[in-house]
Structure 1
Amino acid sequence: MSVETVSLADIGRDLGEQIAETDVYERFERASQAVENDPEAQEKIASFEQLRQEFMAARQTGDADRESLRRVQNAQNELHSLPVMKEYLAAQSDLQNTLEEINKAISEPLSVDFGGEAGGCCHD
């Protein structure tokens, strides 16, 4: 099977399907579903998001203070202290690490440094 007969998009889809079958991805999916199905987690997510939105709006108008920041941080800490959220965050971190490893493996044979080219066009 050569690149000529299989498009790179097809190879990417195959890779995505293979990733979806890994234990690390399946753990993430289970943890995500557990959070979605947990009423307490959903309540704390909604509370955190509301406080965060209020803080962001206050920050834009210059009305944000330490107390409002503290409320946001406390809501986030309460949310993250739930066992279902701890598992979700751990599963998410593991999946991100796996995807970063895959990205490095894909990038390794490429000699393109897009970060180095951000400031200009052509180098002699």
Structure 2
Amino acid sequence: MSIETSGDAAEETNTVDERARELGEAIRNLPEFERFQEAQEAVEQSEEAQEKIDEFEQVRQEFMLARQTGQASQEDLQHLQETQQELHDIPVMEEYLDAQNRLDVKLEQVNDTLSEVIGLDFADEASGCCND
């Protein structure tokens, strides 16, 4: 049985950190990630999308305040949902949401692979959440 020295532990940590950087670079080079970034930039540059985002955020904040004070109505909720749907119906927003979904699916696959290799849910453990 060997005793691990602190130099060995530091070398292992460096190896894991380097592999994590490689994984990050590989993810950054995924077509799904590239498409997501392009879609995000398109949304940021779309005046129509930005205006509708601002409108949605205002309606959402008003709804949340009304809900906290017990004054939110079904009509308020419906207005919020309609505003969100109008936002989602903007073509650059549709593209963004589709790209985001595809990236989420790919990252879930990466998480599943990591989880399988280490024997526990990687994303859950990485989040720092307690599992009591």
TM-score range, shorter chain: 0.7 to 0.9
Does residue 83 of the first structure (1) align with residue 96 of the second (2)?
Answer: no
Partner residue in 1 for 2:78: 70
Matches within 5 A, 1:6-85: 6-85=14-93
- Which amino acid in the other structure matches residue 131 of structure 2? A
Pick closer, same or farther for the CA change 1:9–1:72 going to 2, 3 Å.
Answer: same
Report percent identity of matched pairs.
48
Shift of 1:5: 7.4
Does residue 107 of the first structure (1) align with residue 105 of the second (2)?
Answer: no
- Which amino acid in the other structure matches residue 103 of structure 2? L
How many matched pairs? Answer: 116
User: Which stretch of structure 1 is more off in the superposition, 73-82 or 105-114?
Assistant: 105-114
Gaps of 5+ in 1: 120-124
Shift of 1:118: 2.4
Q: Report the secondary structure of 2:117's partner residue.
A: coil
For 2:81 and 2:20, the matched residues in 1 are separated by 39
TM-score by length of 1: 0.85
Structure with greater helix share of residues = 2
Q: Report the secondary structure of 1:108's partner residue.
A: helix
Q: Report the secondary structure of 2:119's partner residue.
A: coil
Pick closer, same or farther for the CA change 1:4–1:118 going to 2, 3 Å.
Answer: closer
Gaps of 5+ in 2: 1-10
